[in-house]
Structure 1
Amino acid sequence: MRAKVVELPPEQWSVCLREHHPGYVSWPDYLATRERLRANVRPRGEGGGAAREGAALLQGLIRCGHCGRRMQVAYSGNGGRVPRYACVRGRDLHATGQACQSLGGGRLDRAVADAFLEAVTPAGIAATAGAIRELEDQHAERLAGQRLAVERADFEAERARRQFDACEPEHRLVARTLERALEEALAAAERQALARLARDLPRLWGAETTTDRDRKQLLRTLVREVVVTVNTPERRAAVEVSWEGGARSELSVRLNRRGPERRRLADDTLELIRRLAQHHPDRQIAQILSRQGRPTGTGLAFTETRVRAARQRAGIPAAPPPDPDSELVTIAQAAAELEASTATVRRWLRDGLLAGEQTTPGAPWRIRLTDEVRRRFVPDVPEGFVALAEAASLIGCARQTVLQKVQRGELRAIEVTKGRRKGLRIEVPTASLDRLINE
């Protein structure tokens, strides 16, 4: 016959004499130590346990959103410092041949760390303190009602001790007043201490002397568990952070691309190269993409060689050589032909005297310079054309409205290029001139 010893939880003990004799630790310390040891236990086949020295911030906290098992940590990359979380317990148990889900740890760790640091900012602490105060007020109201009921019952039950009860209410009032003042003083001191901690914690978190293990222990003071569900087609992960106290936060983390996808250009960048290659050479395209801050598939800056390689991989033909007889010219070419500065040409574009195209912000303008457009630039003021301010007064609208009408083609405009009256002139409708003459 073999006997087996089974340890029961404290709530099932038949006898428990707390503080029966002086011990090495107090009863609350004993319970806290038991809970810490239980949390540090590493279950068979699962991650978890105490915070360790690895770089994975969520080691022991992260759980699979599909099957509910804890996810394991693996390291790779330069120096074995790049963490990756994977749920492989289902594969090991059921021989499925593939992990339930896996994802890189870099972006996930940063997202949870940012949420943690945001929670301990002064604003976050103030919001949390406000919620706690509201819960405490509700609890205090219920507790006060229960205490009054108990006091009334005690007063009726101990009517025989009237000599003590005669002074008991006064004692209670004094005790409650002192207790309330002490609690308010302690609460104010605790709020100030939390505010100081909130200001110092981000600097402490990023300090070189703070180890990965230190960061994990800091994180575990507030974060109880992190549940992750990977959406592979969308390359995103839904993250649910469970905080100490029962609150929950939901995050969305974009996942790294893997394999050939890591070197693939973003779709919008490739489409922009396709449109730019119709008019611009590779060197100019590289300048435009760099000006917009667009990287290559590997995160590098664009050069002429990289643009050419991306264009050839996608089967995009190079821009044809410029046609000398084309109506489309650059700003510099338009300035030379119209005998003006490039700044003046840009102003004419803005005012609507010239019509131009721009494939994307930062790309060179292509100005359509036809014979009709050239006739808008004259040495003298023709009859019926007035200055912008006078045109606005005659038409009865603001100057900006007049310019908008010119840009939409509702009013004709010319540019006088010589003499004292050079500048923009607007043709005023005949009805407006007749009204001015009649007045």
Structure 2
Amino acid sequence: MTEHSKIAAGHQARLAVVYLRQSSASQVENNRESTERQYALSGRARELGWPDERVLVIDEDLGLSGSGSVMRAGFARLTSEVALARVGIVLGLEVSRLARNNADWHRLIELAGLTDTLIGDADGIYHPALFNDRLLLGLKGAMSEAELHVLRARLNGGIRNKAARGELRRGLPIGFVWGEADGEILIHPDEAVAHAIRTVFARFAELGSARRVWLLWRGDQDETAYCLT
């Protein structure tokens, strides 16, 4: 069965949803070509027979991980539209763009099978109600989740090795910077910033309450207060 033969008039009478996702804000900023390729999928929907007025682009999840560790409004919206049988086809650049969490992925496949919704990516169009297509989609989802696990394990391993050597440097509170020596933490070299930090601690010792210090600084318009904002 060819991909076009899976598309029926009933599918085209409903929405073609183009779902966009990238895992972090830095990917959105630095991998703009990937973002453009995902937006270009609306053109593929038109090639498959969907008119412009029935092509919906969901891009609220750009910059959010698909691991399930964060709430994704776009994916929730997509799932809701599929469950209500308003969607004829879901298009994504890769299956991993939809979800890297098997629970989310299999829930979407189940709903798509029940509501006669197609799923398409760069490799083809799948009908989750067909056994072979459903099996292939399940394998793709499992491989995507496994890839995420390997990447996370590799990253965590590198962090642990750096920490064991005493070379791990995380972000410091405002007013402090890393020095040249291993583990060396210094007060910010800008005297205005250093003075502001010392003044905060002095005010806290005087007032005895972080909230009272904050209220004082909020109403203070001098240069020292500006350094803390």
Bin of the TM-score, shorter chain as denominator length:
under 0.3
Q: Please give the TM-score of this superposition, normalised by the length of structure 2.
A: 0.27
Higher RCO structure (Cα 8 Å, ≥6 apart): 2
Q: Which has the higher Rg, Structure 1 or Structure 2?
A: 1
Looking at secondary structure, tell me which structure has more helix per residue: 2
